[in-house]
A = this chain, B = another copy of it.
Amino acid sequence: MQFINFDKTNAFKKLAEHAKTAFLFRDKLDAKRVGECITPMAAGLKYSWAAKAVDEECIKLLQTVADEQELIAKYKALLSGEMMNTGEKRKVLHHLSRAQQGQPVMENGKDIGDFYRKELERFCDFASAVHGGKHKGSTGKDFTTVVQIGIGGSDLGPRAMYLALENWAVAEGKKKLDAKFISNVDPDDASQVIASCRLEQCLFILVSKSGTTQETLANELFVKDKLAKAGLDPSKHMIAVTSETSPLAKNPAYLDSFYIDDYIGGRYSSSSAVGGCVLSLAFGSGTFREFLAGAAEADKLAQETDILKNAALLDALIGVWERNFLLFPYTAVLPYSQALSRFPAHLQQMDMESNGKRVNRNGEPVDYSTGPVIFGEPGTNGQHSFYQLLHQGTGIIPLQFIGFTESQKGDDVSVDGSVSQTKLKANLAAQIVAFAKGQNSEDGNKEFIGGRPSSLIFGKRLTPLVLGSLLAHYENKVMFQGFVWNLNSFDQEGVQLGKILTKKVLSGNFGDDALEAYSKLLGV
């Protein structure tokens, strides 16, 4: 296995050459192409890439990228426990939190999978005990609400997954507890969430891998202060999710503690105890295990070397084509599912924090563009908002649509001959074609030049299994892109400088007069 910069590959040069002749998919998009350009995914999902600006030759060249950069070999090395987080000298094992894909991953004679499986069992048992009334609040009442205190990966992923499954759980009779989230150090955030809670029936989950996250610790004390003032025993109302070496571990201040390790990054932790505790408590551990099974199925499929049989790999490579050769600096994620309202925000972290890097895995600057800006809102809402620019702006923004045949709840109404779910899908189909084909007009204002590329991930219904596979698809896509760009997608040194300067401000030792001036402006 060799790690070389993308622009040093033969494939890079050939793709750059190929990019000189535009593929006008606008004129090629017909039923035949739609039928042919579909790649099966895990959990019954499918990836449709007919409306992407890729021709046969492009696909062939993208396959050579996969081969030359040894993407599958690198993925398998990662799965087997090689130290792929080079900066922090760590393994990368979020896949192992859902299933073991090959041989056990051993360290110091211990099977790390055993550790993950043990924690999974422990928090599943804990959730069942709460549901069974074995754990109650300090006044003896059942818990009705779980409140996650965490930020970044301890917030965005779990929150997006909770919202994605809430309606499904209600429809299936699986909803056990409401979940809420406190993340921001802005005190109005915690104050508002607390004010909306019946504290004596709230179970808090404190999530910080290091046990030192400034925002999370401030919010912990905010909450404990409120619990104490309400006459409640904080130690009966809070569990911790942290690493075994953190100051929060094995601490009697918490009702129980569940562990993760340094091999699962925050943005990849939805399938660990970080997402598992809150999701198991909210929807039952069976739901969370289905979610893991969906992710594991996608992880398995992602080992396929043929890019036409591996949707995560193909999606990744089309993204690279769009970023490095068509030169698009952004990608919009547009789920036609209100349940996925915060899924784009989670992907924004997952993608931009992983591949928003200007140095390669050895710390040397690269000479090509890496991760794009990711943004998005659910459709049809976005259609009445920023789609104007997507259709008629001066730049081209690649699009990723997601849609489902059925709604989660099935609670619907027929108006003008169609139910709302049908309208939702009709809008989605219409948008793909509108973006791709556009519309000629004498009136420039009503002209759509088309040629706006999009892909579509679609399936029957958003269930836990489907959600798990969807999440893993994107995780693996981002991983493959990082391999192509020769990045370390698993650290986040870019967050450190702000932390250092914040400490300087709080200590009053500014060390920089502009920093002091800004602090004064803000009344620090």
Contacts and interface: CB of A to CB of B under 8 A. Distances in A.
A14 interface: no
B31 A359 contact: no
A222 B413 contact: yes
Interface stretch (A92-100, A135-143, A444-452, A473-481): A444-452
Q: How many copies does the complex hold?
A: 2
Contacts of A50: 514
Given A187-B420, A456-B518, A524-B422, A434 B214 contact: no
B30 A513 contact: yes
B392 A357 contact: yes
Interface centre among A48, A366, A429, by most chain B C-beta atoms within 10 angstroms, is A429
Interface centre among A380, A420, A499, A515, by most chain B C-beta atoms within 10 angstroms, is A420
A359 B184 contact: no
B187 A356 contact: no
A135 B498 CA distance: 52
Given A389-B356, A425-B522, A381 B152 contact: yes
A478 B430 CA distance: 29
Instruction: List the 5 closest pairs (A to B, CB-CB), nearest first.
Output: A356-B389, A152-B384, A363-B444, A430-B501, A349-B385
A337 B411 contact: no
A444 to B, nearest CB: 3
A418 to B, nearest CB: 5
A156 interface: yes
A58 interface: no
15 contacts: A170-B192, A184-B380, A185-B420, A185-B427, A187-B409, A191-B411, A219-B420, A221-B415, A330-B373, A362-B444, A369-B395, A371-B393, A388-B492, A391-B498, A446-B496
Interface string A322-343: 0000000110000011110000
Interface in A432-471: 432-434, 436-439, 443-449, 456, 458, 460
Contacts of A119: none
B359 A447 contact: yes
